[in-house]
């Protein structure tokens, strides 16, 4: 199987132009944005098969030798924080819990960067048994993806009957002190009517729920702008049971809009990535499991750090590649344009 058949784009050869780039160590782009938030995908493997993300058979496996090692991940993250101005690091995938050496990755980063917040986005399957160890290794926060609390609907959407493991994982994370726990739910038509139950459950369990509009990053290529569930539809559904009051955004780079639920203190967030996109304030830079830099979820233009690193590149040389990659970042995703073409990689192969 070729890389293109695997949904992995060709890496761009040579260093892109740095023409016009200001003389700054930070990860700036041509549109005045500065990347401070690093998302690191550490595996393509996953214990679930969410229909809006993965193919039923899972993603083609990345050969072990092509995946970044613990030492390589720790080196690149340290470089991003110390030299490039990254302030927050989030591990994602696939599912980060699929890597048995996740605790070593976290511990390595925490040891070198004790003041940098380390977070993880996970589906929560198996978290019950690892939350305590991860917290001890230095993990600070966890976002757990849970689209519905209805067991049958969960099994249908994820193609796996693992809801109970996720709920146990959320509770274990709270006990381990990984609070505040955020719950992410992708807005899907099959689970929309259960949105009020999910919000009620999250409030009772002291979790902060955020709904996310589905983006065209599914392996089945079934996403359609005309039929996706919008933030506006969700607000109507939630309004049948709760009184929602919009809160003004305090952090412009935060993608979610927040509402107080029944006067507070509970809140609910909505990340309206499609209908109210926040590209103008995007502060993200991404590293894939094979060590490629990807500045935008929707751009297939990737730059390799792994081979450069394995070929003996110095930290300065790696930093130059990273800065150059960010200088090429697109203005926005263009989902709403008539000529929009989804990227080759699906969400599970990028890391959300």
Interface with ligand SAM (CB under 6 A), residue from 145, 191, 295, 328: 145
46 binds ligand SAM (CB under 6 A): yes
Specify the residue for token string 């979820």: 297
218 binds ligand SAM (CB under 6 A): yes
53 binds ligand SAM (CB under 6 A): yes
Residue 184 interacts with which of ligand SAM, ligand SF4, none, CB < 5 to 8 Å by class: ligand SAM
Residue 81 interacts with which of ligand SAM, ligand SF4, none, CB < 5 to 8 Å by class: none
Neighbours of 348 (CB within 10 A): 29
Interface with ligand SAM (CB under 6 A), residue from 212, 229, 234, 309: 212
The separation between the first and the last C-alpha atoms of the chain, rounded to the nearest angstrom, is 25
95 binds ligand SAM (CB under 6 A): yes
- DSSP annotation of 17 reads P
User: Within 13 Å of residue 33, how many CA atoms lie on the same side as its CB?
Assistant: 24
Whose CB is nearest to ligand SAM?
352
Interface with ligand SF4: number of residues (CB under 6 A):
13
User: Within 13 Å of residue 196, how many CA atoms lie on the same side as its CB?
Assistant: 13
Euclidean distance between CA atoms 165 and 345, whole angstroms: 28
SS3 content of the chain, % helix, strand, coil (to 5): 30, 15, 50
Interface with ligand SF4 (CB under 6 A), residue from 41, 116, 140, 145: 145
Euclidean distance between CA atoms 273 and 225, whole angstroms: 12
Residue 214 interacts with which of ligand SAM, ligand SF4, none, CB < 5 to 8 Å by class: ligand SAM
305 binds ligand SAM (CB under 6 A): no
44 binds ligand SF4 (CB under 6 A): no
């Amino acid at each position: 199987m070729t890389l293109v058949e695997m949904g992995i784009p060709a890496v761009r050869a040579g260093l892109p132009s740095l023409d016009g780039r200001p003389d700054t160590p930070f990860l700036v782009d041509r549109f005045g944005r500065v990347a401070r938030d690093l998302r690191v995908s550490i595996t393509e493997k996953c214990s679930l098969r969410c229909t809006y993300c993965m193919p039923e058979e899972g993603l083609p496996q990345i050969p072990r030798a092509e995946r970044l090692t613990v030492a390589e991940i720790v080196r690149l993250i340290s470089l991003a924080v110390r030299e490039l101005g990254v302030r927050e690091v989030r591990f994602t995938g696939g599912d980060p819990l699929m890597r048995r050496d996740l605790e070593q990755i976290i511990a390595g980063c925490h040891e070198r960067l004790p003041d940098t917040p380390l977070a993880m986005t996970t589906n929560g399957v198996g978290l019950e048994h690892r939350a305590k160890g991860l917290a001890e290794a230095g993990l600070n926060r966890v976002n757990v993806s849970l689209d519905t609390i209805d067991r049958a609907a969960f099994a249908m959407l994820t193609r796996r009957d693992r809801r109970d493991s996720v709920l146990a994982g959320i509770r274990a994370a709270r006990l381990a002190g990984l609070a505040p726990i955020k719950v992410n739910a992708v807005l899907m038509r099959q689970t929309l009517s259960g949105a009020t139950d999910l919000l009620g459950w999250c409030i009772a369990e002291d979790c902060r729920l955020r709904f996310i509009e589905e983006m065209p990053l599914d392996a089945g290529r079934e996403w359609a702008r005309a039929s996706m569930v919008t933030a506006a539809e969700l607000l109507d559904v939630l309004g049948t049971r709760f009184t929602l009051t919009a809160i003004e955004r305090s952090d412009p780079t935060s993608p979610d809009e927040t509402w107080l639920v029944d006067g507070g203190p509970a809140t609910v967030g909505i990340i309206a990535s499609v209908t109210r996109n926040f590209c103008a304030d995007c502060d993200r830079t991404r590293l894939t499991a094979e060590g490629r830099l990807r500045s935008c979820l929707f751009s297939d233009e990737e730059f390799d750090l792994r081979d450069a690193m394995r070929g003996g590149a110095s930290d300065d040389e790696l930093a130059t590649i990273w800065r150059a990659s960010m200088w090429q970042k697109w203005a926005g995703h263009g989902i709403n344009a008539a000529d929009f073409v989804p990227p080759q990689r699906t969400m599970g192969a990028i890391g959300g």
